[in-house]
Amino acid sequence: MAFVSRDNITEKVLEVFEKTPDPRLREVMRSLIKHLHAFIREVEPTDPEFERGCEFLVSLGQSSSEKKNEVILASDILGASTLITLINNIKRADTAGPLKTESALLGPFWRKNAPHYPDGSNISHGPESKAADQRFDVSGRVCDANGQPIEGADVDVWHASPLGFYENQDEAQPNMNLRGQFKTDANGHFSLTSVRPAGYPVPVDGPCGDLLRKQRRDPFRPAHVHFMVSKPGYQVLITQVFADDDERLHTDVTFSVVESLVGKFQKRTGPGETGYALTYDFVLQPGEMQFPTPPIP
Ligand SMILES: [Fe+2]
């Protein structure tokens, strides 16, 4: 048997990994080793560079806490999270019906058990509610992949304030502000009132922030509203709708903006009207209703 050399080490590692009993783990690790070794052969890191890389990975864990997951943030700013979402979108669309709504990242700010409101309610109860010019009416329909309305679907909405803060980041906002759950009526329709959200930067106080600064990247996300739409018998739809007039649509630091998720933030221009209105329809695919783990309590 040959001793290890630069030329044969990849093959030797792959041979060892072939003994992994779990077929999916074997497949994942085989591909990881192939690409990791190819990356090392291409970059040829120096010893200090390798140390720096290891320090970066360690610091991702060390700067994570109950309130912040720097590992997910790293995956987001490398475009990996969105690539996974896009691949799974395509898989899901193959399963049933001609219509679909694309998914987008859950993000770090979803909270389970947001208050339930009757149709048309206002979810803005903090100081931001006084900005009449930022009034934001949101409505839409939930239907199945054949366009039939879905009654009794839960539409969970959450978004940042006009200053770009979620309520849990901002002491000026009451608990669960700018969050709410609504039920669709017999026509699959729902509506609510709020204030227009602003874009915001991802956290830049950790190793991901250091990397973004070194890359001269804008840490901001364009303004968006998060939606989670669910009903038993359908897959949970997690998505975001982006403001069509935001100048950062093409520079989202998490690469989340697909064309179909850009919504028209229509300026209301009728007599005595102020603010904006958004109408967006959602399509649910049949399947198991499985909720994600809330990133924050
Ligand atoms: Fe967000």
Please tell me the distance between residue 149's alpha carbon and the centre of ligand 1 in angstroms. 27
For residue 123, how many other CB atoms are within 10 A of its CB?
24
Please tell me the distance between residue 106's alpha carbon and the centre of ligand 1 in angstroms. 8
Q: In tens digits, what is the pLDDT along the chain, a chain of 297 residues?
A: 889 999 999 999 999 999 999 999 999 999 999 999 999 999 999 999 999 999 999 999 999 887 788 999 999 999 999 999 999 887 766 566 667 899 999 998 999 999 999 999 999 999 998 887 899 999 999 999 889 999 999 999 999 999 999 998 899 999 999 999 999 999 999 999 999 999 999 999 999 999 999 999 999 999 999 999 999 999 999 999 999 999 999 999 999 999 999 999 999 998 888 999 999 999 999 989 999 988 777
Whole-angstrom Cα distance, residue 87 to residue 130?
42
Task: Please state the pTM of the whole predicted model.
Answer: 0.91
Please tell me the distance between residue 31's alpha carbon and the centre of ligand 1 in angstroms. 32
Q: How many residues does the chain have?
A: 297
Ranges in the chain annotated CATH 2.60.130.10: 75-284
Please tell me the distance between residue 224's alpha carbon and the centre of ligand 1 in angstroms. 6
122 and 138 in contact (C-beta within 8 Å)?
no
Please tell me the distance between residue 225's alpha carbon and the centre of ligand 1 in angstroms. 7
Q: What is the CATH number of domain 75-284?
A: 2.60.130.10
Whole-angstrom Cα distance, residue 59 to residue 53?
10
Please tell me the distance between residue 188's alpha carbon and the centre of ligand 1 in angstroms. 25
Q: Tokens 């049933």 — which residue?
A: 96
